Structure 1
Amino acid sequence: MKFLVDLHTHTLSSGHAYSTFDENAKFAKENGIELLGISDHAPTMPGGAHLYHFTNAKVIPQEVYGMKVLRGVELNIIDYNGTVDLADSIIKSLDYSIASLHPPCINFADIKSVTYAVLEAMQNPLVNIIGHPGDQRYPQDLYELARMSKMTNTLLEVNNASLDASCLRVGVRESLIELLHYCNDFDMPIIANTDAHICYEVGNFEKTISFLEEIQFPKELILNLYPDKVLEFLELKK
């Protein structure tokens, strides 16, 4: 498999990433990416991008090096009501958003509370993707996530960085096996992203591809193989 889409990438503006947008774009092109998204951390993340970073995203070209570029954000879910940390008006000015749980922004909690928060975020019409689900430090009802994914056209992410042995997230592989089983049952596509924090990682899906092939997840449900379908899903949520 050759993935053509990577929507979860970070630049220097995220505070704990190490490359510029142009450096990321060059490596994305080298790795065969056709649809590249920039999704720096929203302001609640320590060191995250200022809100002006997102209001000024219009300066980012819609095409670089022959690739289509989308301007996005990785939002933080900041409470157990599913609240995210940018104003609706700013999110609406972007092409897409990812919503994620991060320990600096929200404390760990029980499965009922975490599941409720994520389901509420998925029902937000401005949230397109749930970032790195499956971290068992934030236990979730994975069946309900898959069901809500189908109901709201919110994509669930297979996060390449989460599959790395050095990642601090816990139990992701086991959780993803269960989650993707439910997605398959619901005939609901998923999206894979690198969550790159340095240019060398952009478009490098080695761990994800190996994992998806191992569990024999259907290719027709992997949107990274179909850039046009990714754009269709982002429009569906709107």
Structure 2
Amino acid sequence: MKFVADLHTHTIVSGHAYSTLMENAKYASEIGLEILGVTDHGPNMPGAPDLWYFGNFKVLPRELYGVKMLYGCEANIIDYEGNLDIPVEVQKKLDVMIVSMHEPLMEGGKSSDLNTATILKAMDNPNVNILGHMGNPKFPIHEEEIVKKAKEKNILIELNNSSFVSSRLGSDVNCTKIVKLCKEFGQRIIVNSDAHFCYCIGNFSVAEKILKDVDMPEELIINTNRTMLIDFLHEKGKNI
């Protein structure tokens, strides 16, 4: 299986990542990726950049080392109403917005009912493009409800390789269940690295094993095809 894009990557600007934007783009080029998403953490995450960082993407080139660059954010859900730490006027200008729940900002271990209701509310935001690392066992959810609403709202569900190798360990069982549900309901997914170091970009090795075990149709894996991915972003109102 060939992947053309990785839309969930972090630079040194996130505060706990270790490579620059240029280093990430160069490595993406070296491994043959066509599209790279720069999605540093939203400003409420400890060590994250100021809002000014996300508002100044206009100064950055649309291509580096032959790689098409998308500039966005991994926005944080900051309360049980599904609100985010990025203002709406900034959200609209991003190429891609991933939304995630993180322990420094939300208490883990809450009920599946509460976590699910929170994510469902976040999905009512038309600027949300991707749900990040939904398999995190510290934030249990009702997976079928999430998958069904994601399909209704045309939001991608992420299969996050980092969740299996360095972060949110124990996600594999939940992620397998989510991918099976996505296959059942025809919900599109995206496979991302969540790289915090350039050499992790495009590493989907464990995620690929899950996809093979589930026999996930390639037409539901949106970053296996450049046209399919760009068309999705156009559907979300992005002029890229």
Bucket of the pairwise TM-score, normalised by the shorter protein = over 0.9
TM-score normalised per structure 1? 0.96
Question: In structure 2, the residue corresponding to 1:39 is in which secondary structure?
Answer: strand
The aligned residue for residue 23 of structure 1 is 23
Amino acid of the residue matched to residue 74 of structure 1?
A: E
Structure 1 residue 237 displacement after superposition:
2.9
**8 Å CA contact 2:133, 2:158 repeated in 1:** yes
| Percent identical residues | 44
User: What is the 5 A alignment of 1:1-238?
Assistant: 1-108=1-108, 109-164=110-165, 166-167=166-167, 169-238=168-237
Distance in 2 between the 1:146 and 1:171 partners?
Answer: 20
Q: How many residues align?
A: 236
**8 Å CA contact 1:42, 1:48 repeated in 2:** yes
Distance in 1 between the 2:105 and 2:40 partners?
Answer: 15
**8 Å CA contact 2:176, 2:210 repeated in 1:** no
Structure 1 residue 51 displacement after superposition:
0.5
Structure 1 residue 170 displacement after superposition:
4.6
Question: In structure 2, the residue corresponding to 1:230 is in which secondary structure?
Answer: helix
Distance in 1 between the 2:125 and 2:234 partners?
Answer: 14
Distance in 2 between the 1:47 and 1:216 partners?
Answer: 39
CA deviations over 1:133-172 (Å, ceiling 9, x no partner)? 11121010000111011100010000010011x42x2531
Amino acid of the residue matched to residue 28 of structure 1?
A: A
Structure 1 residue 210 displacement after superposition:
2.2
Distance in 2 between the 1:176 and 1:218 partners?
Answer: 16
CA deviations over 1:53-78 (Å, ceiling 9, x no partner)? 10111112111111111111000000
Distance in 1 between the 2:159 and 2:206 partners?
Answer: 10
Structure 1 residue 185 displacement after superposition:
1.4
**8 Å CA contact 2:11, 2:40 repeated in 1:** yes
Unaligned runs of 5+ in 1: none
**8 Å CA contact 2:161, 2:194 repeated in 1:** yes
**8 Å CA contact 2:131, 2:158 repeated in 1:** yes
CA deviations over 1:9-54 (Å, ceiling 9, x no partner)? 0001100000000100111111211011100001100001110110
| Structure 1 residue runs of 4 or more that deviate by more than 6 Å after TM superposition | none
Distance in 2 between the 1:146 and 1:64 partners?
Answer: 34
**8 Å CA contact 2:164, 2:170 repeated in 1:** no
**8 Å CA contact 1:142, 1:179 repeated in 2:** yes
Structure 1 residue 203 displacement after superposition:
1.4
